[in-house]
Each structure stands twice: as structure tokens, then as C-alpha cells.
Structure 1
Amino acid sequence: DYLDYDSDINRMGRVVALGGTLDDFTTDLKARFAEPGAEWKYVSIDTHVLGMVTRGATGRSIPDLLSEKIIAPMGLEYEPYYVTDGTGTAFVLGGLNMTTRDYARFGQMYQQGGRWNGRQIVPQDWVEESTRPSAPTAPGRIGYGYQWWIPQGAAEGEYMARGVYGQYIYVDTARNVVIAVNSADRGFREPGVSESNIAIFREIAESL
């Protein structure tokens, strides 16, 4: 809860601001809201765990891997930069800073089945699998795949990335539409805000 001073996400921010490490903070977390596999809930630190596993499996940093496998093949307009902890470890749960046009470029690559300029950057079967609603989210609520959100009532190939304070990469594959948004909306958690943004994206897509 970003609005709760004592929430884990805000405690994490204070640890990092004072030079602490994300890995230590993560491994020190012991409390569970449910037994593994019993209930789904979005928790940012889970994404950092994925980063820890990836670094451990490859022996490489996330920026190096992302640059080699994704960023360099796509040819972004501007070099991205990362928020890091006190030891220089890049955030994986957030903090990747790119221009709106380059976020849109990433969305377009996914919209094209993982291809960019004739090159297969992300395997097409992974694109399709990762953007399906596979998490056991509550009935009638937004769905979740592998790091992608699937809006309620989504058509085939409709999904999005969604970040704190109103960041979006919205993809409507059938209509060949990608919408990228960089925002600083303090009211992003207010009731209906996300639903309104999705409705706007759909109206834009349907009008083209």
C-alpha cells in the first residue's frame, strides 16, 4: 500500500534511501498473507525475487541482460537508466526509466508477437502465454498473466503493463494499437481511476 507509511513497499523505500540492499530487505521478509498457491495477490517484491533468481541463474546483472536481449536489438531512441539500491543492484519491481516513445516501442514489439524490424526478440509463444490471464484473481476483477495485466472483459490480445502513479503500456493486438502513458497521478489509487483509464484506451483504439 503506497499510501501507508508502514507498509512493506514504503519501508523498502526507506531502507534503499539509507543505502540498504534490496536483496537483504527481501530475504528478511517472513510474514505471509496466505500459504503459497492458496490465494493470488499482487506484491511488488515478488518481482524483485524473479530478478534475484534470474541473476543467480545467469550470473549477470538485470541491466546487462536486458540490454543484450531486448534493448540493443530494439534500438531505443534514448538510453534507459535504472533506480538502484545501495550496492548498485537495479530494481526489477520498478524504476526502469525510459521515454514514452521507447515504452511504446516495447509495447509495439509485443503487439507484433515479439518481433521488431524483422527480428524475433521475444519468443512468440512466450508473448501469447505471458499475456493470458493465468493468475487466480477474484471473479469480475482485472486479470493477471506473467507480469502483464489483462483488463476485465478483455478481447483476445488485449493486455497492459501498469505501474504506480499511472504508468501504462496498453496493447490491443486485434486493432494494431499500442498506447504508452507516463504520468504522475497522485490519485492513481482512487476508486475508478484505473477503470476510467482503460475505458479511455479502449475508446481510442476503437476510434482508429
Structure 2
Amino acid sequence: MFRIRLALLLIIGALLTGTANAQAWQEVDPTTVGWSADKLKVAKQHSTALKPTAVMIVQDGRVVASWGNTSHKVNVASVRKSLLSALYGIAVSEGRIDLSSSLADLGIDDNAPSLTASEKTATVRDLLMARSGIYHPAAYETGDIKRKRPQRGSHPPGSFWFYNNWDFNTLGTIYRHQTGEDIFQSFNRRIAEPLGMEDFSAKDGRYFTEKFSEHPAYPFNLSARDAARFGQLFLNGGRWGDEQVVPASWVKESTTPYSFAKRIRQGYGYMWWTLPADTWGPNAFYASGYGGQVIAVVSSKRLVVVQTVDPKHNPKGVRTSTFIEVLKEITSASP
């Protein structure tokens, strides 16, 4: 009887923490599947010198290499935007969000100085592309965004790309209002559980507000091994096993570049960054967060590479451009 009660308690605990369907990754010796041991060693040396918390390399759904603590959860910063983008794909397919809806249609405004009539013509799609033209102060902004933010009214909605936390935060508000769901509970139920994430629960997210905007940021804590599942989901075209978790059409649409950051030759889709095809092959994209949080997908190599960096252990973090150089070494080692 005691054993039965203990088993029931363990099952209930797993359900409450979102780990009931957790699945361990399958690992494979990289040299047996065509990887260059020497090149991978060089990539690892360069990576570990940057002091990441964890790096995980997955090819064909199997772990070919990892280092650091892949189960340690960290605030993945702006990776949150790509996580929300996936939830949007589900909500759009269910008819709960219309990308052509304007902010006026949805009753979206903000603290004084409130939005103008022109700003309210921005659509949900404009916000997903970071093209709202709304340069209102936003929560959770970096100093760089604050310095570079254009003047209010300087660009009509849809006409100009600017990496804009106001757009990203307001998309969180729209998602909650239009679906009636909490972002973190929704991610847990709709994505983490179907993928068998081992560490994530709805308690690993929080809302962050600042007085000048009514739209909170929504930072997530993720482990590298759970982040890799999210990357693998998008590499699979939104499919996991027998279940189409995110519509395949949304995976393609959200990782298509609609704008380009000239300085770094990279594109921007619906809250995903894209990499140039002439270097990486078709359909290469990544989620990126401040301090070195990255989920990279290189479709031509059937490859997912994740890096996490805990600022408590590495306050300086890792620049995204530096990670991209390591990613090149990793892909060079790959068959």
C-alpha cells in the first residue's frame, strides 16, 4: 500500500511540474556518424573558453556532443520572443488571433503619452516583424535599444524595421487577451509537455513591468536540453513524433526574413533571426537572447545547436557574433 501511495504521489508531482511526459535525449558517438573528432575538439575548446553554462549539439534528433550543465535553467532573455512566436502560430491556426487586426481593432493603447491614431493602425503582423512604427518606452529594454529608439511618429507602421521591445511585449498582451491564456501555462501545455521537456514548468516564467508601459515583458527560464527540443521542433517543421505541435506553414512563415540588419547580413522574420543562405544553406535561423542565449537551427545539416549562459557565473556573457563563429566551427565538423 505504501508503494502504491508513493507511486501516486510521484505521478501527481510530475503532473504539477510539467514533467510527466519528460523524455531523455538519445546520445550517439559523433565519430560513428561521420563527425570530425579533431574539428569538434577545436570547436569545443573555443566554446569552453567563452565560459558558457552549457552547449548542446543535436543532429537527426540525437545528441552528438554537449558540455556544461545542460539541465541548469537560465533566463534566456530575448529567446522568449521566439517561444511566443510559436504560440502565435498555434493561436492563428485556431482562429483566435488575426494577423491583420490593428491595435485599434484590439483596443491596445499604453500609458501616457498614449498611442496616436496613426500608431494604432499597426497590425499584429507589423508587431511580429518589429515594424510597428511605435517607439513608446517599453519594459525590459537594453540600453542599446533605448539609445537607438527612433522618435515617435518618425516612421509609419509597416515601413521601417527596428528591434523593438514595445512590439514584443505588446504581442504578449495581445496573446493573453485574445486567447484568455497565461503565456507560461500555455507554453507548458501546448509545447513543453508534447515535446517531453525535462525541466520546464509554468513556474519558470514571470511577468516584468515598468511604470512607463502597461505591457509587461515575459522572461522564461529554460535549460539547454529543453531549449534544444524547441529547436528540434522547428527543424522538424513543427512536428514532434506523430503530433503537429506548431503548424508547418507557420514554421516556414515565421522563419522567413522580411527585414535585414545590414551590419550583420542577417534577416528577421516573426521574432526569429535568419542566417544568409550563401553561407549556411537554406532555412538557417536562430533565437537569440542577451548575454549569449541561443537556439540555432541549420537545416542543411539537420542540426540544432544551443548555448546558455548564466550571468551569475559569467557576468560578461557571450556576444552573439562570437557564438556564430563557434557555430561555423561546429558545422564544419559535421558531416
TM-score (norm 1): 0.75
Structure 2 CA distance for partners of 1:179 and 1:101, relative to 1, 3 Å: same
Contact in 1 for aligned 2:255/2:274 (Cα 8 Å): yes
Which residue number corresponds to residue 64 of structure 1? Answer: 185
How big is the alpha-carbon RMSD for the aligned residues of Structure 1 and Structure 2?
2.5
Counterparts of 1:154 and 1:160 in 2: how far apart (Å)?
Answer: 12
Letter in 2 for 1:100: A
Structure 2 CA distance for partners of 1:106 and 1:82, relative to 1, 3 Å: same
Which residue number corresponds to residue 79 of structure 1? Answer: 200
2:322 is paired with a residue whose SS is helix
Counterparts of 1:29 and 1:134 in 2: how far apart (Å)?
Answer: 31
Structure 2 CA distance for partners of 1:38 and 1:136, relative to 1, 3 Å: farther
Structure 2 CA distance for partners of 1:40 and 1:96, relative to 1, 3 Å: same
Which residue number corresponds to residue 166 of structure 2? Answer: 45
Contact in 1 for aligned 2:228/2:295 (Cα 8 Å): yes
Structure 2 CA distance for partners of 1:168 and 1:138, relative to 1, 3 Å: same
Of the three residues 222, 225, 233, the one matched with 1:109 is 233
2:320 is paired with a residue whose SS is helix
Of the three residues 306, 315, 319, the one matched with 1:180 is 306
Structure 2 gaps of 5+ residues are: 1-108, 114-133, 136-149, 210-214
Identity %: 30
Contact in 2 for aligned 1:157/1:172 (Cα 8 Å): yes
Contact in 1 for aligned 2:288/2:320 (Cα 8 Å): no
The answer to whether 1:98 aligns with 2:227 is no
Number of aligned pairs? Answer: 176
Structure 1 position 188, deviation (Å): 5.5
Which residue number corresponds to residue 269 of structure 2? Answer: 145
Structure 1 position 197, deviation (Å): 1.5
Larger radius of gyration: 2
Structure 1 gaps of 5+ residues are: 1-25
- Which one scores higher on RCO, CA 8 angstroms, separation ≥ 6? 2
Counterparts of 2:271 and 2:328 in 1: how far apart (Å)?
Answer: 21
Contact in 2 for aligned 1:83/1:96 (Cα 8 Å): yes
Contact in 2 for aligned 1:162/1:169 (Cα 8 Å): yes
Which residue number corresponds to residue 110 of structure 2? Answer: 27
2:270 is paired with a residue whose SS is coil
TM-score (norm 2): 0.48
2:288 is paired with a residue whose SS is strand
Contact in 1 for aligned 2:231/2:297 (Cα 8 Å): yes
Counterparts of 2:262 and 2:172 in 1: how far apart (Å)?
Answer: 26
